[in-house]
Amino acid sequence: MNFPHQLILFGPPGTSKSHLARHDKAGALGVTGRDIIPVTFHPEFGYGEFVCRLLPMTVDHKIEYRVHAGPFIKALARAFVRLGQHELASADPGQNVVLLIDEINRGNCAEIFGDVFQLLDRDDTGWSSYEVNASDLTLQALDDELKRYGATAGSLSARLAAMRQDRVLRLPPNLYLIGTMNTSDDSIFHMDSAFKRRWNFEFCPPDFAGVPDFQRFAMVVDRPHLNWEVFLRALNTFIVDKCTAPRLDDKLVGPWFIKARPVRQPVTLGERYASEFAELKESASKVTAYHAGADHSDVFDERLLRLIATLPPPVGADVTAYARVDRSGGRRKLKAIAYDTASEYYRSEVRAGSLPPGTLFIEDFLKGLAARSALPSHEVQLEDIAGKLFIYLWDNVFDRDKSPLAKLLGIPVQELRTFGQFAEQVHNFIARLRLPDTPSE
């Protein structure tokens, strides 16, 4: 497998880097569950917390000092246990282990990794190219973790036994390090080129590839025809056009920046589209008219298909599936409704009789249709736009120059001097953002 032993996923906020690391990347290595050792870096995180340290504990009213293994030693021990009896030249390196480092650039990597940094150079077999000396504390922490995983002298590889004898450490080929970082964060530590050189970097773009429909098509602030994907693409276009920051990739917004929530006030199709349903009921009442039933059925088809075309995409898809719309060319396009095969008019309960399996009288079809939801299942709510997205735009994207925001909103820049003034413009911002044409509400 051609997978880098040290990988950092980076990109704008909301691009699902942590999920990608834990599920897609670790999954590609066959790693799940306890073989993923997670850690999150932060400004106060140091070498002792990452590798190992001596911590005081109260036992029987006495202070004792015990060795505490950090995530690095835990991952190293688990990798050696998984390695088992496999040796350097083995074609099978054993079960993989992932040390997952979230927010890697929020910590001081030079301080956190310390001498472990030397181990990140790998040879062609995946082992560390160089070794580092291990202190008594580090060896004790490693031994404790090996015992905790149930390892015995006979179950460990000869390579590890030799390393312990020589009091040195190397990373085995089945240990992978995956980090994530938001490049837009201001309060981060600098990564020097020597550290970066030992990692592969993969950019996570702010697109909607692989994003589920409930998030992609979530309506934005009570606007059923404005979905999150359309809004976010327009917003990122605005940022690229108007933001003067030198690194625009850092300023964009990913699809998971705000997670859509279930709609708070569901509305049925019958409630929201009362006039359209009145027309459909009128057509339905005439489908049995003598010598005109098929023509009125045609009108029913046309009216329903016209309604579907105006619905938000996920609602339209739901109605299309419910009606079993068939556009292949036959006269009767709604296969969920029973119809007379000779005269091609939709069946009505006015002339009751047996129905083909899986079909309905036109009246029952309309009742079921009217009860279906007129809104997408999820929404991006006003408070999330104002409280999350707007503060990011204010503090990170247009932190130095508010004039592009003022121009978009159509107000003097003097009237946009506080975040509170900006937050009051949520509806105006959404309305004036250049959006692709959408059906009227």
Tens digit of each residue's pLDDT, the chain (441 residues): 689 999 999 999 999 999 999 999 999 999 999 999 999 999 999 999 999 998 887 777 888 888 999 999 999 999 998 887 454 435 455 689 999 999 999 999 999 999 999 999 999 999 999 999 999 999 999 999 998 888 766 667 777 888 888 999 999 999 999 999 987 655 556 788 899 999 999 999 999 999 999 999 999 988 888 999 999 999 999 999 999 988 888 899 999 999 999 998 889 999 999 999 999 999 999 998 888 999 999 999 999 999 999 998 899 999 999 999 998 888 899 999 999 988 899 999 988 788 999 999 999 999 999 999 999 999 999 999 999 999 999 999 999 999 999 999 999 999 999 999 999 999 999 999 977 655 544
- C-alpha separations of 105 from 40, 62, 260, 262 in Å: 10, 39, 28, 33
- What dihedral angle (degrees, nearest 10) is formed by the CA atoms of 417, 423, 426, 430? 50
Provide the token pair at 403.
């004039």
Burial of 356 (0-12, 13-18, 19+ CB in 10 A): exposed
Burial of 258-278, coded b for 16+ CB within 10 Å and e otherwise, reads bebeebeeeeebbebbeebbe
H, E, C per residue of 9-30: EEECCCCCHHHHHHHHHHHHCC
CB 220 within 8 A of CB 430: yes
* pLDDT in the model for residue 48: 95
Sign of torsion, CA 279 284 289 291? positive
H, E, C per residue of 145-175: HHHHCCCCHHHCCHHHHHHHHHCEECCCCCE
Burial of 174-199, coded b for 16+ CB within 10 Å and e otherwise, reads bbbbbbbbbbbeeebbebeeebeebb
Q: CA 4, CA 90: separation in Å to the nearest integer?
A: 19
* pLDDT in the model for residue 160: 83
* pLDDT in the model for residue 437: 55
- 345 CB contacts (<8 Å, ≥6 apart)? 287, 288, 293, 294, 296, 297, 339
Q: CA 309, CA 313: separation in Å to the nearest integer?
A: 9
CB 178 within 8 A of CB 99: yes
Q: Please give the domain boundaries of the chain with CATH numbers for all domains.
A: 6-203 (3.40.50), 213-264+378-432 (no CATH), 269-370 (no CATH)
**What pTM was estimated for this model as a whole?**
0.81
Q: CA 16, CA 344: separation in Å to the nearest integer?
A: 51
Sign of torsion, CA 237 239 243 249? negative
81: helix, strand or coil: helix
Provide the token pair at 405.
């925001």
| Cα atoms found within 13 Å of the Cα of residue 135, Cβ hemisphere only | 13
